[in-house]
Chains A and B, each alone.
Chain A
């Protein structure tokens, strides 16, 4: 019954080796978000899509890219991961309407070694 699914749950990658995290949703929501959450910190918004319109946060490093090929799927690409990119990456969706919450996936724990 999972509505927002992230794969993989755990990922270990080498310093500088590109990595892709995926997110899929069965809710048919217009908006998809990617958050980065480092240990004991608040989730930090990296970017979000409203349909195909991409919105990048001003302080998101260029190393992070995203793709949304269709309504159901969204990908986070890290082109050259650094040790500081070790974090939990959370995908979320929402309808984009007022008074609605964001629905989160279980997250991907990324470790850069």
Chain B
């Protein structure tokens, strides 16, 4: 069963606009972590933002924020004031397992294109 679901294969956004990338997850663990990574065409995975399952507030990192809705099991990434350099693949990931044997499971990604 899919543990991380990203339903948007591709998205377009106008430069300087905000965009939301969707992510839903499935787990029965009470403790888990959710991550977003950016992968430019060069291939490297760049960490953007983290949300822990017990965190009361939504995570924010500069222009990135995470809209965490625990009851809905969703962890959407919001990018504000999009820039041309934001064009890339974006992956949602979940950490599962126990401390010391954590694994990071990825969704299929969303390709974002920022338009000038």
Residue positions of A touching B, CB distance < 8 A: 30-31, 33, 40-45, 48, 50, 55, 88, 90, 92, 94, 96-99, 101-107, 109
The answer on a CB contact under 8 Å between A99 and B43 is: no
Q: Given A101-B35, A103-B47, decide whether A92 and B104 contact each other with a Cβ distance below 8 A.
A: yes
Closest to A2 in B: B44
Give CA–CA (A30, B64) in the complex, Å: 29
- Residue of B43, B52, B103, B109 near A45 (CB, 8 A) is B103
Within 8 A of A (CB), among B41-90: 42-47, 50, 52
Give min CB distance, A3 to chain B, whole Å: 11
Closest to B44 in A: A106
The answer on a CB contact under 8 Å between A102 and B44 is: no
Q: Which residues of B have CB within 8 Å of A88?
A: 43
The 7 closest A-B pairs by CB, nearest first: A104-B45, A107-B43, A42-B106, A101-B47, A106-B44, A42-B108, A43-B106
